[in-house]
Amino acid sequence: MTAADHNRYKTTINTLISRPDNFYGKMVGVHGNMMHQMHGGMGAGTQRFLSWHRDYLLKLEQAMQAVDPQCFIPYWDWTKKWALPAWMKSFKPTVFVPGRGTIVVTRKPDATAPASASAAQIAALQNIPDYTTFTDTLENSAHGAVHMAMNGTMSDIRIAPADPVFWMHHAQIDRIWSQWQAKHPGKNPTLSGTHAVMDPWTETATQLRSIATLGYVYS
């Protein structure tokens, strides 16, 4: 990323925070509503976890690109460099979240990466042959460990997306899934009926399977 890309990401998020309709704060609130069953232990959550968060990322990125067409959500590859990108360290906005109040983003990352977020662990994950075991392991190992290692806003599921690092972390999770999909074609979530619809939006798990179909790539 260039310095201009860094600035776009931060500026656009600040724009969405300050919008009269409180778009960003409402997006944070969506993640705090467990009725969406987007995490393991919540009904169909294990099967919905990756598809739902892919849709969630896309909804924010589309709003960002309506502000600045060159803006995008970058991924943070914590397997290669655990330290937060320098350009993100001081970016801790204040966000009003409906039902939660005003959130001042805090974080105090652990000095070292969680063991489950190592390159070796992610490589091992990529060799898991079935979707359910893969998504359950990813969610409950690297995904959750990185959230908790931030020691702040990111560590609280109800308000985690208030921290702009959340989106970069989940872009990395989505990237890992896309790599697994390339190695295991045809292996998909097992969802039907209303569980297959990524509420509060209308996209289905089937529509969210392919990043190529959705029109994006990870460099």
47-85: pLDDT as tens digits = 999 999 999 999 999 999 999 999 999 999 999 999 999
Give the bridge partners for 15, in sequence order. Answer: none
Q: How many domains does the chain have?
A: 1
- In terms of residue numbers, what domain contains 106? 3-213
Residue 104 parent element (H or E):
strand 101-104
Q: Give the pLDDT band of residue 98 (cuts 50, 70, 90).
A: very high
Q: Which residue has the higher pLDDT, 219 or 56?
A: 56
CATH of the domain at 152: 1.10.1280.10
> Can you give the pLDDT at residue 47?
98
Give the C-alpha separation, 39 to 59, whole Å: 18
User: Is 219 a member of any domain?
Assistant: no
Structure-token pair, residue 92: 């801790």
Average pLDDT, the chain: 97
Complete DSSP assignment for 52-115: HHHHHHHHHHHHHHHH-TT--PPP--TTT--SPPGGGTT---EEEETTTEEEE------SS--G
The mean pLDDT of 175-181, rounded to a whole number, is 98
User: Is 33 a member of any domain?
Assistant: yes
Q: Give the pLDDT band of residue 45 (cuts 50, 70, 90).
A: very high
